[in-house]
Copies of this chain bind each other. A is one copy, B any other.
Amino acid sequence: MNNHHRSVKVLRRGDLAKLTGCNLETIRYYENIGVMPEPPRSSKNYRVYDDRHVARLRFIMRARELGFTLDEVRDLLALVDGGAQTCGEVQGLANAHLASVRAKIADLKRIEHVLSSTVAQCSGDDVPECPVIDALREEA
């Protein structure tokens, strides 16, 4: 109860980082590239954040966890900020992203298949002959 002469505790960059788990420098980076808004500054030029910044950063971090690129995040935020976003528009972006996620999975599965079946042929012994090396050397 000692903050009645300290006004409401303001959030500085480090506080925002701790609250969200975001790296301190990343916050500034997001501001530079325009996905986080420029916050107001204190008299000593410190960035001052509030609840909406916390929510915004969490939104961004969740989108990143879902593999959205920062460009896609910008698009999502533009829709949300526009206020008039529609479910259809968002669904469009999400579906496009989903397609690219599925493409990556397919690529990796192909790689996984080749690698695992090749490694399975390895003797694992102390000999120079190795199916993995052979596969990499193979004449196409």
A: interface residue count bin: 35 or more
Contact residues of A: prevailing secondary structure: helix
- Interface check A10, CB cutoff 8 A: no
Residues of B within 8 A of A130 (CB): 85-87, 90-91
Bound complex: CA A87 to CA B132 (Å): 8
The residues of B that contact A8 with a CB separation of less than 8 Å are none
**CB contact list, A100-140 vs B, under 8 A:** 101-102, 104-105, 108-109, 111-112, 114-116, 118-119, 122-133, 135-138, 140
Chain A residues with a Cβ under 8 A of chain B: 55, 58-59, 62-63, 65-67, 76, 80, 83-88, 90-91, 94-95, 97-98, 101-102, 104-105, 108-109, 111-112, 114-116, 118-119, 122-133, 135-138, 140
